[in-house]
Structure 1
Amino acid sequence: MKKLLKKIKFFSIVILIIFTLVASNEITHHKIAITAQPLNGCLSTDSLPCTDISKKTTSEPFIPDAKLNNQERFLSAIARKLSTIPQPGTYEYTLLRMYGAVFVNQDVGIKLPQKDIFASEQETQDFQATLTMAHVDGTNDCYLQKSAADALNKARVQQQIPLKSGYGSGDCTRTFNTNLRFWHKYANDQVLAKVQQGKETKILGLVAPPGTSQHLWGLAIDLRIGSKEQRKALNQNGWFQTVENDIPHWTYVGLSEENLSLFGFKKQAIRGITYWITPL
């Protein structure tokens, strides 16, 4: 009888400890600010893929913890959008570094893909079919995700901001095949293999590999910009240059310029043009 009582007492203590730990974890689980510790896995090539480390609903505005460094703040923001963050040294991580600025977007009207590579025209079409699109005023057939188009239209009311080609759809949301055609205009399969192996990155500032362009997501546009006033109007409405050396390319980030640093972006001036680069 005494042995039975001891066993019951022992298991009661164990259950109490487990309950305490679960309760404690539940409180931590719902904190908005993400500490540096959960991000360690995202920064190590030895660890497993970094899964979504913030389960707070993405419909609520997110403010990164100012105590984190630039990279950690950026990762804490994009972890709310991507189901898995690629590991450093991988092809996917290289693409995230170059084109991942859009994943910090806080606009609830914006829809983002769950990965940064589309494998085919069909996969691209399936994603684009879920988007709410809107027309860019004064263009022939230029469409973007509605929030991006609305912001661009506001900027174009402030300043005359022409598309790179003048009016064409190729400057706006593109199909997978259009992305592929642009790639073959400037590169080939051998160059793609080098990019995938991490041996070539300069080409990424000229053209995006097949299935990886921000244009596929309806969140990028190519423009002809020549004045500070035009840039100011675009910046005031959430549009920034985020792809280093791609001069015509503008990305809808949806943040104010004052908040870009808070989300970890690095300001970089190259030949008189200000780019906001991801800290990866």
Structure 2
Amino acid sequence: MKLTIRKKRNITRLIRKITFITIVILMIFTLVASNEITHNQLSITAQPLNQCLSTDLLPCTDPSQETRLQPFIPNPELNNQQRFLSAIAKKLPTIPQPGTYEYILLRAYGAVFVNQDVGIKLPLKDIFANEQETQEFQSSLTMVHVDGTNDCYLQKSAADALNKARIQQHIPLKSGYGSGDCTRTFNTNLRFWHKYANDKILAKVQQGQETRILGLVAPPGTSQHLWGLAIDLRVSNKEQIKALNENGWFQTVENDVPHWTYVGLSKENLLLFGFNKKIVRGITYWITPL
């Protein structure tokens, strides 16, 4: 009888030890796995795009291992339009069909969708329907004040890049220091449209019969200014242009001379992403190949 009780106690102790060891092993495994995930996440860094785009570093992005933090590199064997579309397809859930109003807008204002800066946020479409949609998007942005201005804000990466350029060179805003040069509301966009155009012209734009107006003023809900990635500046010399270009700012809307877009690429890499260089009356524009 005593032997049986002793055996039972030994078995009970053994079961407890096994249970305890199992729990400890599971805890260790969980901690190790958790640490590995954290380590892997922290080790994923966005390699500077200009380094990745050098000839001998093109293989730095492996499509099978692609993450949102890795810069996208277009296939250089594709034509300009294909390279551009492959880049914006990473940002836009749906690419508009050629001939549609959305496609016309993308052709005019879609330069920002190639931006590889992980610090910026892009809209999921190229047109906002109303003030509410605009405010919902803008409220999700990280905005930073442009140095030396009054109530002028841009998305942080764009503002930081512009501030660096303005340290290199004196580059004033188009109308002084007002917010109208920077990120705009839907209603401000609408007011500018009514100043230079009307509903009849809008109908022609939507039908593809009028596109020149897009170089003067953006239709309601379509301005790059709504996205916090554009600004109107007074630029008068090559040194100012160089400072802006070196910090990712380019003129991308043909005939809109004061309008500058934060593309976030170097001048050399604009060609790789399919942009067409076009000089109009001495002004260099980088146009989407659509």
TM-score range, shorter chain: 0.7 to 0.9
Greater C-alpha radius of gyration = 2
Letter in 1 for 2:150: N
Correspondences of 1:88-127 after superposition (within 5 Å)? 88-127=98-137
TM-score w.r.t. the length of structure 1 is 0.81
One-letter amino acid of the counterpart of residue 150, structure 1: D
* Counterpart for residue 260 of structure 1: 270
Gaps of 5+ in 2: 1-60
Give the letter aligned to residue 177 of structure 1. N
Who is 1:248 aligned against?
A: 258
- Distance, in Å, in 2 between the alignment partners of 1:278 and 1:250 is 14
Distance 1:56 1:79, change over 3 A: farther
Q: Which string of whole-angstrom CA distances, capped at 9 and with x for unpartnered residues, describes residues 33-92 of structure 1?
A: 9xxxxxxxxxxxxxxxxxxxxx94332111100010000000000000000000000000
> Residue 279 of structure 2 aligns with which residue?
269
Determine if contact 1:32/1:62 at 8 Å carries over to the other structure: no
Aligned partner letter, 1:212? T
Deviation of 1:128 after TM superposition, in Å, equals 0.2
1:144-189: per-residue Cα shift (whole Å, max 9, x none)? 0000000000000000000001100000000000000000000000
SS in 2 for 1:177: helix
Q: TM-score, normalised by structure 2?
A: 0.78
1:212 corresponding residue in structure 2 = 222
How far is 1:229 from its partner? 0.4
Q: What CA distance in whole angstroms lies between the structure 1 residues aligned with 2:143 and 2:153?
A: 6
What code does the residue aligned with 1:224 have?
A: R
Q: Distance in 2 between matches of 1:60 and 1:116?
A: 24
Query: 1:24 maps to which residue?
Result: none
d(CA) in 2 for partners of 1:31, 1:233: 33
SS in 2 for 1:261: helix
The residue that corresponds to 1:32 in the other structure is 63
Is the aligned partner of 1:132 residue 2:161?
A: no
Q: Say whether 1:79 aligns with 2:111.
A: no
CA distance in 2, matches of 1:62, 1:236: 20
SS of aligned partner of 2:136: helix
**Which residue matches 2:246?**
236
**1 CA distance for matches of 2:67 and 2:134?**
26
Find the counterpart in structure 2 of residue 150 from structure 1: 160
Asked if 2 retains the 8 angstrom alpha-carbon contact of 1:136 and 1:142, the reply is: yes
AA partner of residue 32 (structure 1): P
Higher helix share: 2
SS in 1 for 2:220: coil
C-alpha separation in 1, matches of 2:278 and 2:200: 30
Unaligned runs of 5+ in 1: 1-29, 34-54
The amino acid that maps onto 2:206 is Q
The one-letter code of the counterpart of 1:147 is S
The residue aligned with 1:173 is 183
- Separation of aligned partners in 2, 1:160 and 1:56: 40
Q: Give the whole-Å Cα distance in 2 for the aligned partners of 1:68 and 1:57.
A: 22
Change (3 A) 1:188 1:158: same
Partners of 1:120 and 1:203 lie apart in 2 by: 21
Q: Secondary structure at the match of 2:106?
A: helix
Match of 1:25 in 2: none
- Which of the residues 186, 193, 198 maps onto 1:183? 193
Whether the 8 Å contact between 1:58 and 1:81 is mirrored in structure 2 is no
Instruction: Give secondary structure in 2 for the equivalent of 1:85.
Output: coil
Indicate whether 1:198 and 2:229 are aligned. Answer: no
In structure 1, distance between residues paired with 2:92 and 2:179: 28
Q: CA deviation at 1:240?
A: 0.1
Mapped partners of 2:63, 2:241: distance in 1: 33
Question: Structure 1 runs of 4+ off > 4 angstroms?
Answer: none
